[in-house]
Protein backbone atom coordinates (compact mmCIF):
# COMPACT_ATOMS: atom_id res chain seq x y z
CA UNK A 1 0.00 0.00 0.00
CA UNK A 2 1.03 3.58 -0.53
CA UNK A 3 0.88 6.55 1.79
CA UNK A 4 1.60 10.25 1.42
CA UNK A 5 2.73 12.67 4.09
CA UNK A 6 2.38 16.41 3.78
CA UNK A 7 3.90 17.70 6.98
CA UNK A 8 2.81 21.31 6.62
CA UNK A 9 -0.91 21.85 6.99
CA UNK A 10 -0.56 25.54 6.26
CA UNK A 11 2.19 27.66 4.71
CA UNK A 12 1.88 31.44 4.94
CA UNK A 13 4.08 33.43 2.57
CA UNK A 14 4.32 36.95 1.22
CA UNK A 15 3.69 37.71 -2.42
CA UNK A 16 6.77 37.32 -4.65
CA UNK A 17 8.55 35.19 -2.07
CA UNK A 18 9.66 31.63 -2.88
CA UNK A 19 7.77 28.67 -1.45
CA UNK A 20 8.27 24.96 -1.00
CA UNK A 21 5.47 22.56 -0.14
CA UNK A 22 6.78 19.27 1.11
CA UNK A 23 5.57 15.83 0.14
CA UNK A 24 6.99 12.47 1.15
CA UNK A 25 5.60 9.14 0.15
CA UNK A 26 5.90 5.53 1.14
CA UNK A 27 5.52 2.63 -1.26
CA UNK A 28 6.85 -0.89 -1.74
CA UNK A 29 6.55 -0.53 -5.51
CA UNK A 30 7.43 2.10 -8.07
CA UNK A 31 5.10 5.07 -8.17
CA UNK A 32 3.72 7.89 -10.19
CA UNK A 33 3.37 11.20 -8.36
CA UNK A 34 0.97 14.09 -8.73
CA UNK A 35 0.25 17.52 -7.33
CA UNK A 36 -3.32 18.74 -7.41
CA UNK A 37 -4.55 22.23 -6.57
CA UNK A 38 -7.95 23.06 -5.13
CA UNK A 39 -9.11 26.66 -5.14
CA UNK A 40 -11.85 27.63 -2.67
CA UNK A 41 -15.15 25.91 -3.42
CA UNK A 42 -13.77 24.29 -6.54
CA UNK A 43 -12.71 20.84 -7.67
CA UNK A 44 -9.31 19.26 -8.05
CA UNK A 45 -7.07 20.48 -10.83
CA UNK A 46 -3.95 18.63 -11.87
CA UNK A 47 -0.96 20.88 -11.38
CA UNK A 48 1.81 18.57 -12.49
CA UNK A 49 2.78 14.93 -12.54
CA UNK A 50 5.78 12.66 -12.63
CA UNK A 51 5.32 9.48 -14.64
CA UNK A 52 8.81 8.76 -15.97
CA UNK A 53 11.86 10.42 -17.50
CA UNK A 54 13.20 13.68 -16.12
CA UNK A 55 12.80 13.90 -12.38
CA UNK A 56 12.06 17.63 -12.59
CA UNK A 57 8.59 18.44 -13.82
CA UNK A 58 7.08 21.87 -14.39
CA UNK A 59 3.63 23.36 -14.64
CA UNK A 60 2.51 26.14 -16.93
CA UNK A 61 2.10 28.60 -14.07
CA UNK A 62 5.62 28.43 -12.70
CA UNK A 63 5.45 25.58 -10.22
CA UNK A 64 7.95 22.75 -10.36
CA UNK A 65 8.45 19.53 -8.46
CA UNK A 66 11.36 17.14 -8.29
CA UNK A 67 11.05 13.42 -7.81
CA UNK A 68 13.72 12.18 -5.44
CA UNK A 69 13.59 8.41 -5.21
CA UNK A 70 16.26 8.05 -2.54
CA UNK A 71 14.46 10.48 -0.25
CA UNK A 72 11.00 9.36 -1.38
CA UNK A 73 10.02 12.97 -1.87
CA UNK A 74 8.19 15.07 -4.43
CA UNK A 75 8.38 18.61 -3.09
CA UNK A 76 6.59 21.42 -4.89
CA UNK A 77 8.36 24.73 -5.39
CA UNK A 78 7.73 28.12 -6.89
CA UNK A 79 10.39 30.86 -6.96
CA UNK A 80 7.89 33.74 -6.72
CA UNK A 81 4.28 33.30 -5.63
CA UNK A 82 1.24 35.39 -6.49
CA UNK A 83 -1.85 36.17 -4.49
CA UNK A 84 -3.75 33.97 -6.92
CA UNK A 85 -1.72 30.94 -5.84
CA UNK A 86 -3.64 30.89 -2.57
CA UNK A 87 -5.23 27.43 -2.52
CA UNK A 88 -5.03 23.95 -1.06
CA UNK A 89 -2.37 21.74 -2.58
CA UNK A 90 -2.60 17.96 -2.48
CA UNK A 91 0.19 15.54 -3.23
CA UNK A 92 -0.94 12.14 -4.51
CA UNK A 93 0.70 8.83 -5.36
CA UNK A 94 -0.28 6.04 -7.70
CA UNK A 95 1.39 2.68 -7.18
CA UNK A 96 2.41 0.45 -10.03
CA UNK A 97 0.64 -2.86 -10.13
CA UNK A 98 -1.06 -2.53 -6.77
CA UNK A 99 -4.76 -1.98 -6.73
CA UNK A 100 -6.56 -0.50 -9.64
CA UNK A 101 -5.02 2.89 -10.32
CA UNK A 102 -6.43 4.54 -7.26
CA UNK A 103 -4.76 7.71 -6.15
CA UNK A 104 -3.72 8.03 -2.54
CA UNK A 105 -3.76 11.63 -1.37
CA UNK A 106 -1.94 13.47 1.35
CA UNK A 107 -3.79 15.61 3.85
CA UNK A 108 -3.11 18.77 1.89
CA UNK A 109 -1.21 22.00 2.46
CA UNK A 110 -3.00 25.31 2.49
CA UNK A 111 -0.86 27.98 0.82
CA UNK A 112 -1.77 31.46 2.04
CA UNK A 113 -0.20 34.27 0.02
CA UNK A 114 -0.50 37.74 1.45
CA UNK A 115 0.49 41.13 0.00
In the complex, the residues that contact another protein under the rule CB under 8 A are 32, 34, 36, 42-46, 49, 51, 90, 92, 94, 96, 99-108
How far apart (Å, rounded) are the C-alpha atoms in residues 86 and 12?
9
**Strand 10-14 to strand 109-114: parallel, antiparallel, or no bridges (unpaired)?**
parallel
Nearer to another protein, 45 or 71 (CB): 45
Nearer to another protein, 78 or 108 (CB): 108
Q: Among positive and negative, which fits the CA dihedral 51, 52, 58, 59?
A: negative
Nearer to another protein, 4 or 113 (CB): 4
Amino acid sequence: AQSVTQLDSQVPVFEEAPVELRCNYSSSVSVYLFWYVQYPNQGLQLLLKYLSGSTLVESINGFEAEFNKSQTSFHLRKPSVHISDTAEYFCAVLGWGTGFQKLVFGTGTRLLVSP
